[in-house]
Structure 1
Amino acid sequence: MTIDSSSPSPPIRVVLAEDQVLIRDSLKVLIDATPGLATVGEAGTGAEAVLLARRRRPDVVLMDVRMPDMDGIEATRRICADPDSAGVRVLILTTFDLDEYVYASLRAGASGFLLKSATAAELLAAIHIVASGEALLAPTVTRRLIAEFLQRPHPAPLVRDLNDITQREREVLTLIGKGMSNSEIAEHLHLTVGTVKTHIGRLLAKLHARDRAQLVIAAYEGGLVTVPDGPHRCRPR
């Protein structure tokens, strides 16, 4: 008789940063009722979110944008820049579908951006995606990044020197900027998905980027991708 000594994986630990108590309570009930997820803290202000991220070191912070004391974007910036909360992923959750929020939150270090109009299943899936180290970067978010980037004639570079990346890594980064998935990049470049993941890992290390979201921004700020080259053209406003 064989005894399975394997233990279940620990749950994904989530901090809720939301100033509206009713919404926060609803999120807590949803997350705590989902196997594999658990809330480990609640914050009603941006400053509280930063403190909780440092003390509890959750896997994911669900972060509202508009909060008292400190908005979610500034809170995200502080969490991602603080060595004491290194490894904490931030998922922006907001009712405001505005270009400035998308761009600013991802530049601040957020790993994803989700509207509160999303379904419960979409929210739970987003938490898993972000906790796994991936970025929640839907094509609609990519379009907004492009639009916002074009409105900023001289953006401060987030990552900057692309001289140290190889030609193949440059090709992969360009396709990431165009919004392609790993499988699409692999097919386009005639590589295996595993090889693509290896190139992405090297890009993250060389460009000091937290995740795929920042690689998209790096591709645009490095001039590798322009709107006419990308799959999603943005109408002028």
Structure 2
Amino acid sequence: MTAREPRLLVVDDQALVRSGIVGLLEAAGLEVMGEASDGFEAIEQARRLRPEVVLMDIRMPGLDGIEATARLMAMPEPPRVLVLTTFDLDEYVYRALQVGASGFLLKDAPPDRLVDAVRTVARGEALLAPALTRRLIERYLAAPAPGVLAAPATELTPREREVWQLIAEGLSNHEIGARLYLSEATVKAHLTRLFVKLDVRDRVQAVVVAYESGLVRPGAQRATH
């Protein structure tokens, strides 16, 4: 049985850009429930339509995409937020991740990548290239004191700590399994418990917390394979 496509809300203050995104998504068979031109309208539409994924522009007049994302995350059953931006290195993007966005994509990405990104986020996975995750965090995150871990992190088992370290280094579930000689199912089980203990929604937020807690140091040597 083919999985049902996610319901979407597209938010962008430029009507031409917004209509172009909507056209690409609908051409791929995705269901666009509504559109919004600013953060206030996005929140209103999200509450009324209950989309599963919101494609969110960052820089908009009135209520910007960061504050709109934060307010969406406060909803009882918040949608996933995929940030669309013109800039590949932007402090606004990092701030959006901090408040709960599941990832981001450049507006000039190929149509098929946009569609894949929406489906990835809808499945509950984070979408952010590992190298870009590190660049964003290292540029905009003040380095914590060495060896100082946040309270929830001290409750992790040694194996959970290893898995956390490796996702912060940018490794996929498959790569983590190969490194630790674990099945992908076991890695996913560790991730589930890890997210609960850290009180984060997904992989991206877990990486942010890894830097904020001191588990990973900005500028440190990390895995690239």
1:27 and 2:21 are equivalent in the alignment: yes
1:231 and 2:223 are equivalent in the alignment: yes
Q: Secondary structure at the match of 1:161?
A: helix
1:176-204 deviation per Cα after TM superposition (whole angstroms, max 9, x unaligned): 11111001100111111110000001111
1:11 is matched with: 5
Note if contact 2:131-2:170 (Cα within 8 Å) is conserved in structure 1.
no
Deviation of 1:143 after TM superposition, in Å, equals: 2.3
2:93 is matched with: 102
Equivalences for 1:55-70 in 2 at 5 Å? 55-70=48-63
> C-alpha separation between the residues in 2 aligned to 1:170 and 1:96?
33
> C-alpha separation between the residues in 2 aligned to 1:175 and 1:193?
14
Note if contact 2:152-2:197 (Cα within 8 Å) is conserved in structure 1.
no
Q: Kindly tell me the number of residue pairs found equivalent between the two proteins.
A: 219
Note if contact 1:19-1:45 (Cα within 8 Å) is conserved in structure 2.
yes
1:172 and 2:163 are equivalent in the alignment: yes
Q: Secondary structure at the match of 1:163?
A: helix
Distance 1:63 1:175, change over 3 A: same
Percent of aligned pairs with the same amino acid = 51
TM-score, structure 2 normalization: 0.91
Whichever residue aligns with residue 206 of structure 1, its letter is K
Deviation of 1:26 after TM superposition, in Å, equals: 1.0
1:163 to 154, 161, 169: 154
Distance 1:104 1:160, change over 3 A: farther
Unpaired segments ≥5 residues, structure 2: none
Deviation of 1:80 after TM superposition, in Å, equals: 1.0
Deviation of 1:99 after TM superposition, in Å, equals: 3.5
Unpaired segments ≥5 residues, structure 1: 1-5, 233-237
Note if contact 1:14-1:62 (Cα within 8 Å) is conserved in structure 2.
yes
> C-alpha separation between the residues in 2 aligned to 1:179 and 1:140?
7
TM-score, structure 1 normalization: 0.86
Moved over 3 A (4+): none
Moved more, 94-103 or 214-223: 94-103
Deviation of 1:82 after TM superposition, in Å, equals: 2.1
> C-alpha separation between the residues in 1 aligned to 2:136 and 2:162?
20
1:194-224 deviation per Cα after TM superposition (whole angstroms, max 9, x unaligned): 1000000111111111111101011111211
